[in-house]
């Protein structure tokens, strides 16, 4: 048995999950090498997302009504949730599993787990910020902005459920919402405020986290493509890459939506679909909110990042590519003036859209833990829209798994073997 302080660990994937894991493991005293397929996070979901830490998001993507909404929105290419039809057995199996998971029982079982993960991650972000990891962490809460009675009723129901779970939530009138954030003009019926939610600058976070990892002795190999695995019995002993073989005692797979393809030769199944999301960041917005928000009916996130303002949204289940669909962008932009009337679509002229591919599991929960098939392979992927929010706690949980410690949160429900191995 290799001593914990000298254990060699290879982490495949250099997004927020891989970096969080590397940081946790390095503090344990292990040797860490991160293998990243890109050099500048240009196609990484961790860089252009909404930058929100959201204990308010305790309802998984697969929930009652999600499947029927997906079917309804398939006919609208500008809708918040869109499935790009294609002949794919993997997509059909994923869709069936999504349908079967979208139940009230699933929500009841998943909600306390997501709550615990989110609060633990929030605490870690605060610790990181206090220890010198720069990310412009703002503990100012989140506003769910509603324009219609239907949305207010739905969000008030979620708020009641949140309070039952111990997640603080306040239902506010339009006037109370404006008083909470007077920096932005709003045309809304009301809102729900989640005071424990936070926001940060994702790009600043990743830059600072990488600097910490290198300072602790970690290695980051960029433009490094995985081409295979070397195995012996039920163990892996080396990763094959375009930069040569990398031997290790433990391997962690946190390669986002690419994870499933990387374990096919190991006879593992990690059902994932790419959930493409888009964002546009105004460098000098006409108004700068103090609190991050979500435009409820439009499903658009609004986040102050430095002196800029980021608008992000859509969940486009489709092909594994980085193409920009102008209809999805228009679907975001057309809704912004409805809630924030001082903004105009023309304000975004010349702003380059960003897109990223979120790794979406059928039940909306991440895969975290060891596989039964391979003694020294741990999976950490499938976080969908919650990757940044759950990054730090995922890293801590993986560190506990790698060193044979009981996890502080029960992750049995997150088993990477839950769809077969």
CATH number at residue 401: 3.50.50.60
Cβ neighbours of residue 300 closer than 8 Å, sequence gap 6 or more:
80, 294, 311, 312, 313, 332, 335, 336
**Could you read off the pLDDT of 216-243 as tens digits, one per residue?**
999 999 999 999 999 999 999 999 999 9
Count structural domains, the chain: 2
**Could you read off the pLDDT of 375-397 as tens digits, one per residue?**
999 999 999 999 999 999 999 99
**Could you read off the pLDDT of 71-84 as tens digits, one per residue?**
666 667 777 777 77
Query: In Å, how far are 1, 167, 214, 220, 235 from 33, measured between CA atoms?
Result: 20, 37, 10, 6, 18
State yes or no: pLDDT of 1 exceeds 70: no
Mean pLDDT for 247-264 is 96
Reported confidence tier of residue 333, pLDDT bands at 50, 70, 90: very high
State yes or no: pLDDT of 86 exceeds 90: no
CATH number at residue 117: 3.30.9.10
Distance of CA 415 to the CA centre of its chain: 18
Residue numbers of the domain that contains 42: 4-46+204-271+363-414
Domain boundary, last residue among 343, 360, 377: 360
**How far apart, in whole angstroms, are the C-alpha atoms of residue 66 and residue 63?**
6
| One domain for residues 262 and 281 | no
State yes or no: pLDDT of 3 exceeds 90: no
| One domain for residues 12 and 32 | yes
Mean pLDDT for 261-285 is 94
CA dihedral angle for residue 186, residue 339, residue 314, residue 100, rounded to 10 degrees: 90
Percent of the chain with pLDDT over 90: 82
| One domain for residues 101 and 160 | yes
| One domain for residues 245 and 258 | yes
Q: Give domain status of residue 353, yes or no.
A: yes
More confident residue, 74 or 360: 360
| One domain for residues 287 and 148 | yes
State yes or no: pLDDT of 400 exceeds 80: yes
| One domain for residues 325 and 407 | no
């Amino acid at each position: 048995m290799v001593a914990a302080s000298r254990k060699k660990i290879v982490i495949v994937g250099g997004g927020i999950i891989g970096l969080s894991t590397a940081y946790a493991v390095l503090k344990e005293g292990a040797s860490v090498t991160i293998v990243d397929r890109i050099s500048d996070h240009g196609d990484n979901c961790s860089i252009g997302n909404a930058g929100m830490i959201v204990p308010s998001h305790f309802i998984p993507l697969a929930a009652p009504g999600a499947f029927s909404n997906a079917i309804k929105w398939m006919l609208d290419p500008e809708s918040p949730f869109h499935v790009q039809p294609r002949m794919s057995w993997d997509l059909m199996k994923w869709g069936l599993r999504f349908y079967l998971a979208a139940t009230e029982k699933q929500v009841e079982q998943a909600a306390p787990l997501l709550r615990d993960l989110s609060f633990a991650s929030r605490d870690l972000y605060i610790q990181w910020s206090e220890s010198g990891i720069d990310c412009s962490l703002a503990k100012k809460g989140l506003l769910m902005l509603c324009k219609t009675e239907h949305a207010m009723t739905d969000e008030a129901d979620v708020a009641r459920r949140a309070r039952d779970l111990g997640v603080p939530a306040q239902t506010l009138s339009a006037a109370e919402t404006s008083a909470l954030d007077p920096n932005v003009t709003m045309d809304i019926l009301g809102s729900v405020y989640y005071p424990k939610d936070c926001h940060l600058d994702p790009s600043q976070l990743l830059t600072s986290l990488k600097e910490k990892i290198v300072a602790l002795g970690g290695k980051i190999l960029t433009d490094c493509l995985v081409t295979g695995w070397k195995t012996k019995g039920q163990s892996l002993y080396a990763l094959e890459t375009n930069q040569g073989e990398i031997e290790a005692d433990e391997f962690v797979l946190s390669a986002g939506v690419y994870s499933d393809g990387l374990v096919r030769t190991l006879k593992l199944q990690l059902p994932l679909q790419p959930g493409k999301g888009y964002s546009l960041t105004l460098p000098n917005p006409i108004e700068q909110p103090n609190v991050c928000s979500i435009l409820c009916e439009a499903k658009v996130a609004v986040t102050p990042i430095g002196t800029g303002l980021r608008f992000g949204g859509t969940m486009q289940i489709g092909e594994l590519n980085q193409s920009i669909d102008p209809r999805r962008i228009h679907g975001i932009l057309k809704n912004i003036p409805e809630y924030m009337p001082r903004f105009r679509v023309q304000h975004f002229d010349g702003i380059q859209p960003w897109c990223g591919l979120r790794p979406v599991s059928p039940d909306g929960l991440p895969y975290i833990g060891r596989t039964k098939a391979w003694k020294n392979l741990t999976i950490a992927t499938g976080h969908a829209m919650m990757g940044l929010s759950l990054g730090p706690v995922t890293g801590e949980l993986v560190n506990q798994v790698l060193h044979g410690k009981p996890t502080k949160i029960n992750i049995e429900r997150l088993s990477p073997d839950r769809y077969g191995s």
